[in-house]
Structure 1
Amino acid sequence: MSASDYERDVPLWPENVQAVALFSRLSSQWRAGALGVVGLDYNVLFHEMDRMDLERDEYDRLFEDIRTMEAAALEEMRRE
């Protein structure tokens, strides 16, 4: 399967734009070990989020959104 197999237009709700943009910026920041990819590098994630000057509740919500996308991405990667 190639990346083009997954390409399609998907509607993006406005409240998800910030999380999707951040997740995209982290696309090269995956940690890997002997058994493969294990998750995002949270040091980079927190650095990026700190630069966004978010209120505490926004920060927490965005972190949870990223963790949700990370879990879904890991599930998909492990399926292959």
Structure 2
Amino acid sequence: MDGLLPGRREEATFELLPDALPAWRLWQAMQTQWRLGPAGVYGLDYAVLPVVEQRCGIEREEAGQLFACLQDMEREALRMMAKKGA
């Protein structure tokens, strides 16, 4: 799958439960919004999150829960990038 992590082109197969689909769609939509500094990637640009949520059709009531999921995925991606020396 393309776009899971910056600089990685690794094919992966996984099962996605239907309840996780909105969080996955938000995650995928945010993949062009990584912040990069002198030390490398350090997180997602949350300033654009409201626009991305709107474009993804995410309702305000659901946004808080999805934000927590997005942060979980972001932490794991950053952990994996640091481990790989990205």
Length-normalised TM-score, structure 2? 0.78
1:28 match: 32
Q: Based on CA coordinates, which of the two structures has the bigger radius of gyration?
A: 1
Q: Which runs of 4+ in 1 moved over 2 A?
A: 50-53
Matches within 5 A, 1:1-80: 3-4=9-10, 7-51=11-55, 52-56=57-61, 58-80=62-84
Q: Deviations over 1:8-64 (max 9, x none)?
A: 2100011111111111111111001111111001011222124425142x1110110
User: Which runs of no fewer than 5 residues in structure 2 stay unpaired?
Assistant: 1-7
Aligned residue type for 2:46: Y
2:4 match: none
- RMSD, aligned α-carbons: 1.5
Length-normalised TM-score, structure 1? 0.83
Distance 1:45 1:55 in 2: 12
Aligned residue type for 1:41: D
